[in-house]
């Protein structure tokens, strides 16, 4: 099968299209013919091994041979393992893997897949998993969102942010989205009743108070983030779009600081590490089927142009999701 792989850590251009063996499937796995995959910051971080911590899981000096990057996918079931129940050959599915979706075929554990809603294209379905899962679990499980709360989403126009604004609105919160001038209208259209243009105003200096801050950007210290938070409010640390390149820990540094500070203050500071699972995927699929959640797709690239797609996401200004099609 054709698959993207890389032999040394570096910029997206180190990715090369190769002929690799089709992946083996375990008893609980499903072999999916990929029709679309989406690109996350997670992907360029793996390709570049940035932060350096990434090397611990995929190779200290260079990526282990034959590794394929890519997490999110949508496609058609081609084969199922002996213990797979509920999915059959020919089913259209979406979900995610730890690595491997930037290929014609990928083996996926059945509990990381769900049936694709019929009204959704493969491109839309491929754009859901990591971003929407993170937004959902960040707001609901870590942030314990409740109706009537004031919720601020920093980085509201990106992959996670566009889902988070919609989901927080759906949970009955009053949502403020932080984005740049060109994205104000988009973020309002997703349900935010208030927006902050980060090119003109720093939301941490505002008088307004929030019960929950979902931070995708990491461009403020914890002290700054706590200022606009209610005394019992919660900060959910999602990511570090603004974190320095080439460091050992990257966005994990803020997460560790949060864990150290949280026990000693009245406010809660928690990091989210998304956990893919088919229960949440089915919950998200149901919302999309009802028209209550819509993926925002910025750009679609053909499979052959994957390095350009990864490069675009790496620049940090995607509006919603970037998808590749096969
Ligand atoms: N913890 C987890 O489990 C988990 C899971 C998924 C993702 N993440 C992390 O979460 C972060 C966000 O992911 P993503 O997929 O949403 O990224 P993304 O799609 O690449 O985000 C791009 C968006 O961020 C906006 N942005 C850039 N700088 C900003 C700033 N200073 N203030 C406000 N918005 C800004 C950009 O808007 P402009 O063009 O207007 O600047 C753009 O729309 C990443 O660091 C990612 O690695 C963590």
Q: Which atom of ligand 1 is nearest to the CA of 255?
A: 1
- Helix, strand, coil abundance in the chain, percent, nearest 5: 35, 25, 40
Question: What CA–CA distance (Å, rounded) separates 43 from 240?
Answer: 14
Q: Which residues of the chain have pLDDT under 70?
A: none
Tell me: cis bond preceding 51? Omega within 30 of 0 counts: yes
Q: Which atom of ligand 1 is nearest to the CA of 240?
A: 45
The answer to whether the beta carbons of residues 28 and 110 sit under 8 Å apart is yes
From the options 1.10.390.10, 1.10.10.60, 3.20.20.150, 3.90.180.10, give the CATH code of 2-128+295-325.
3.90.180.10
Q: pLDDT at position 245, please?
A: 87
**67 three-state secondary structure:** coil
User: Where in the chain are the domains?
Assistant: 2-128+295-325, 130-271
Q: How far is the CA of 215 from the centre of ligand 1 (A)?
A: 9
Q: pLDDT at position 139, please?
A: 98
CA angle (89, 91, 96) in 5-degree steps:
105
- According to DSSP, residue 164 is labeled H
Q: Which residues contact 128 (CB under 8 A, 6 or more apart)?
A: 72, 94, 163, 281, 284, 288, 295
Note the Cα 5 to chain centre separation in Å.
21
Is the CB of residue 183 below 6 angstroms from any atom belonging to ligand 1?
yes
Looking only at the bridges linking them, the beta strands covering 174-179 and 229-237 are unpaired
Q: Between the CA of residue 177 and those of 24, 186, 315, what are the distances in Å?
A: 43, 10, 20
The DSSP-derived string for 32-51 is EEEEEEEE-HHHHHHHHT-S
Domain 2-128+295-325 matches domain 130-271 at the CATH topology level: yes
Q: Which CATH architecture fits 130-271?
A: Alpha-Beta Complex (3.90)
- pTM for this structure? 0.97
Q: How far is the CA of 21 from the centre of ligand 1 (A)?
A: 34
pLDDT tens per residue, range 265-317: 999 999 999 999 999 999 999 999 999 999 999 999 999 999 999 999 999 99
Cα-flanking dihedrals φ and ψ of residue 240, to 5°?
-135, 65
Q: Which atom of ligand 1 is nearest to the CA of 274?
A: 3
Is the CB of residue 181 below 6 angstroms from any atom belonging to ligand 1?
no
């Amino acid at each position: 099968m054709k698959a993207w792989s890389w032999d040394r850590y570096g910029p997206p251009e180190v990715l090369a299209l190769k002929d690799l063996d089709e992946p083996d499937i375990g008893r609980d796995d499903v072999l999916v013919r990929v029709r679309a995959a989406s690109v996350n910051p997670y992907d360029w971080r793996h390709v570049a091994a940035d932060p350096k911590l990434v090397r611990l899981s995929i190779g200290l000096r260079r990526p282990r041979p034959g590794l394929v990057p890519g997490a999110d996918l949508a496609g058609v079931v081609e084969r199922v393992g002996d213990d797979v129940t509920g999915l059959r050959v020919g089913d259209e599915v979406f979900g995610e893997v730890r690595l491997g979706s930037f290929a014609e075929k990928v083996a996926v554990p059945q509990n990381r897949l769900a049936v694709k809603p019929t009204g959704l294209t493969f491109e839309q379905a491929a754009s859901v998993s990591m971003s929407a899962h993170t937004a959902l679990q960040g707001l609901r499980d870590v942030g314990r969102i409740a109706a009537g709360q004031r919720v601020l989403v920093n980085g509201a126009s990106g992959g996670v942010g566009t889902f988070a604004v919609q989901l927080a609105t759906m949970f009955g919160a009053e949502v403020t989205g932080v984005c740049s001038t060109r994205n104000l209208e988009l973020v309002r259209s997703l349900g935010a009743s208030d927006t902050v243009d980060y090119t003109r105003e720093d939301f941490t200096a505002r008088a307004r108070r929030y019960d929950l801050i979902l931070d995708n950007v990491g461009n403020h210290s914890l002290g700054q983030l706590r200022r606009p938070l209610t005394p019992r409010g919660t900060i959910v640390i999602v990511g570090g779009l603004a974190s320095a390149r080439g460091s050992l820990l990257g966005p994990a540094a803020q997460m560790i600081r949060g864990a150290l500070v949280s026990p000693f203050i009245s406010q809660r500071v928690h990091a989210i590490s998304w956990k893919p699972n088919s229960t949440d995927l089915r919950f998200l699929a149901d919302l999309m089927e009802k028209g209550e959640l819509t993926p925002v797709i910025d750009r679609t690239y053909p499979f052959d142009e994957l390095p350009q797609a990864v490069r675009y996401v790496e620049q940090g200004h995607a509006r919603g999701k970037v998808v590749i099609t096969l």
